[in-house]
């Protein structure tokens, strides 16, 4: 544990709603500890998962998984995964941990590693399962019988631009592994199906298919009955619906775009005008969600999405809006080449979080609340104005005393910031507050959980390379009860 830094803290942070908010929505946070992952060279704090068998947090990031004592915040053990490649994600169910590990050559098949959380060792029986290229995220079904793996299948080298037309069109990459979801039977540790998107019906609007990429699964959420999974196809601005009884995709839904001319959606489009000003912008945002989660309300499934936005890694499908004739303050706004045309601009990301029904229809969108509230707290990074604003990335849900809360991580604020919403009724969502952690920067992954009657939120911060744990309490902070 050399160079390890653990901070035990007793500060209580209130998350209080606006004056008109009913007391039923109020919760308070106590920061328990923060762990610095620099104890292991090249380890990064990216994705946390909680194991209730051992009361530990398992944090995945590049070279391996750090296991932390959730009571004290101290390092229990580091598991090195570099023999297999880079670890992208971790999920845990009933004492079984699963790691998603991409190959050293990411266009080749990756693996899932299974670990026993008590022994902190490879699980008995089959502990290594081959899956698709670039397994980026994985999750167990609620009953633990299946493990779903999002194989993003990102190419190493992208296709060239074809011609000089606007909008631009790009050739397919020479080596673009197919995007897919591996479905693993946990009892036998075998892949029982690997559904892809050939022949799957498509619908919705603003589905991106002209960028020289196929559909690339980013994140998966499973409904309460373990019958359906909702798969984010971030770069395609889409959601795919996966039938877990037939192990096949039933549809792909384009998620549309939001109008930044509407007052509730106003953004700051410029990083160079010397001010932060949210204004009407003649452009639209493609939602392009990263993390997704699902919950049930009145017998229906709803999908919660962090609308981060993303483009091809080689910048091949993005340009400054000035390329299409836009003038200041819009000229530097990053726009999609293949979706935009002069006078009709589309950017990556909704700068918001949304709730959609199982058909992909928007039930709620937070508008510009995330950008605006970050600015009100002095956290808004103006250097990100031309791109994706505060860049909502992670999302976690938790039921506390009969209320359902959504925690939305903002990757590009100047300090770690988590927006808190009461989403108990998806049609009457209420912003509660923003949880800000001094010393932490860039929340990548979140884990919200309950343990022995208490509630917790773990935050993995990529840039500061720290993991912080908060206790969550129902009601007002000390002194205001």
Query: 315-341 pLDDT, tens per residue?
Result: 899 999 999 999 999 999 999 999 999
**Alpha carbons 65 and 54: distance in angstroms, whole number:** 15
At residue 17, does pLDDT exceed 60? no
**Out of 17-31, 284-298, 417-431, which region has the weakest mean confidence (pLDDT)?**
17-31
pLDDT value for 24: 62
SS3 of 362-391? EEEECCCHHHHHHHHCCCCCHHHCCCCCCC
Model pLDDT for residues 354-374, shown as the tens digit of each residue: 999 999 999 999 999 999 999
- The full DSSP string for 317-329 is TEEEGGGGT--TT
At residue 297, does pLDDT exceed 50? yes
**Out of 22-31, 182-191, 344-353, 417-426, which region has the weakest mean confidence (pLDDT)?**
22-31
- In the block, tokens 């589905």 appear at 207
Query: What's the average model confidence in pLDDT over 169-191?
Result: 96
Token digits of residue 397: 């849900």
Closest CA to 266 of 385, 348, 119, 127: 385
pLDDT above 70 covers a percentage of the chain that reads 93
pLDDT value for 315: 87
pLDDT value for 366: 98
At residue 127, does pLDDT exceed 60? yes
State pTM to two decimals. Answer: 0.95
Please count the CA atoms within 13 angstroms of the CA of 380 that sit on its side-chain side: 26
pLDDT value for 150: 99
Check residue 158 and report its DSSP letter: P
**23 band by pLDDT with thresholds 50, 70 and 90:** low
**68 band by pLDDT with thresholds 50, 70 and 90:** very high
In CATH terms, 83-231 corresponds, of 2.130.10.10, 3.40.50.2300, 2.60.40.10, 1.10.150.20, to: 2.130.10.10
Model pLDDT for residues 43-52, shown as the tens digit of each residue: 999 999 999 9
Alpha carbon distance, N-terminus to C-terminus of the chain? 40
pLDDT value for 475: 66
Name every residue whose Cβ is closer than 8 Å to that of residue 225 and which is 6 or more positions away in sequence. Answer: none
Query: What's the average model confidence in pLDDT over 451-455?
Result: 97
**Out of 70-74, 270-274, 313-317, which region has the weakest mean confidence (pLDDT)?**
313-317
Closest CA to 444 of 430, 455, 458: 458
Q: What is the CA radius of gyration of the chain?
A: 21
At residue 479, does pLDDT exceed 90? no
**1 band by pLDDT with thresholds 50, 70 and 90:** very low
pLDDT above 90 covers a percentage of the chain that reads 90
pLDDT value for 165: 84
The torsion angles phi and psi of 173, rounded to 5 degrees, stand at -60, 155
pLDDT value for 10: 40
Q: How far is CA 402 from the centre of its chain?
A: 25
Looking at every residue in the chain, the average pLDDT score rounds to 94
pLDDT value for 26: 87
Name every residue whose Cβ is closer than 8 Å to that of residue 410 and which is 6 or more positions away in sequence. Answer: 370, 374, 379, 390, 391, 392, 393, 417, 418, 419, 443
Of 15 and 277, the one with more pLDDT: 277
155 close to 236: Cβ distance less than 8 angstroms = no
Strands 64-69 and 75-80: antiparallel
Other CB atoms within 10 A of residue 342 CB: 11
Using CA atoms in the order 302, 136, 459, 286, what is the torsion angle rounded to 10 degrees? -50
Model pLDDT for residues 83-105, shown as the tens digit of each residue: 999 999 999 999 999 999 999 99
**481 band by pLDDT with thresholds 50, 70 and 90:** very low
């Amino acid at each position: 544990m050399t160079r390890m830094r653990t901070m035990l803290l007793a500060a209580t942070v209130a998350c209080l709603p606006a004056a008109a908010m009913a007391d039923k929505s109020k919760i308070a946070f106590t920061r328990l500890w923060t762990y610095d992952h620099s104890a292991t060279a090249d380890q990064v704090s990216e994705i946390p998962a909680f194991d209730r068998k051992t009361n530990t947090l398992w944090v995945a990031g590049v070279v391996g998984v750090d296991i932390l004592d959730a009571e004290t915040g101290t390092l229990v053990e580091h598991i090195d995964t570099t023999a297999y490649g880079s670890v992208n994600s971790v999920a845990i169910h009933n004492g079984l941990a699963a790691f998603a590990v991409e190959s050293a050559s990411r266009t080749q098949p990756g693996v899932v590693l299974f670990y026993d959380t008590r022994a902190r060792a490879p699980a008995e029986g089959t502990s290594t399962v081959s899956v698709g290229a670039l397994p980026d995220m994985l999750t167990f079904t609620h009953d633990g019988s299946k493990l779903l793996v999002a194989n993003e299948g990102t190419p190493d080298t992208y296709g060239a631009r074809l011609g000089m037309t606007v909008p631009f069109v790009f050739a397919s990459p020479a080596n673009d592994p197919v995007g897919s979801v591996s479905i693993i039977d946990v009892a036998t540790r075998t892949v029982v199906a690997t559904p892809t998107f050939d022949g799957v019906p498509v619908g919705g609007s603003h589905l991106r298919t002209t960028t020289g990429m196929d559909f690339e699964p980013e994140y998966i959420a499973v409904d309460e009955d373990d019958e359906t999974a909702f798969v984010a196809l971030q770069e395609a601005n889409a959601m795919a619906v996966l039938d877990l009884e037939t192990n096949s995709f039933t549809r792909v839904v384009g998620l549309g775009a939001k109008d930044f001319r509407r007052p509730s959606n106003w953004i700051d489009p410029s990083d160079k005008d010397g001010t932060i000003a949210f204004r009407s912008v003649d452009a639209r945002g493609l939602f392009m969600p990263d993390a997704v989660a699902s919950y049930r309300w009145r017998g229906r499934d709803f999908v919660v999405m962090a609308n981060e936005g993303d483009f091809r890694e080689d910048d091949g499908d993005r340009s400054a809006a000035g390329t299409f004739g836009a003038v200041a303050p819009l000229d530097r706004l990053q726009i999609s080449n293949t979706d935009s045309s002069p006078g009709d601009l589309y950017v990556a990301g909704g700068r918001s979080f949304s709730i959609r029904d199982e058909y992909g229809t928007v039930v709620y969108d937070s508008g510009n609340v995330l950008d605006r509230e970050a600015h009100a707290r002095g956290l808004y990074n103006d250097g990100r104005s031309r791109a994706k604003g505060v860049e909502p990335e992670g999302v976690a849900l938790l039921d506390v005393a009969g209320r359902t809360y959504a925690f939305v991580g903002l990757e590009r604020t100047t300090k770690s910031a988590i927006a808190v919403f009461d989403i108990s009724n998806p049609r009457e969502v209420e912003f509660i507050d923003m949880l800000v952690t001094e010393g932490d920067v860039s929340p990548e992954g979140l884990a919200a959980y309950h343990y022995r009657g208490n509630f917790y939120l773990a935050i993995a911060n990529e840039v500061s390379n720290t993991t912080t744990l908060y206790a969550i309490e129902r009601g007002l902070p000390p002194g205001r009860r």
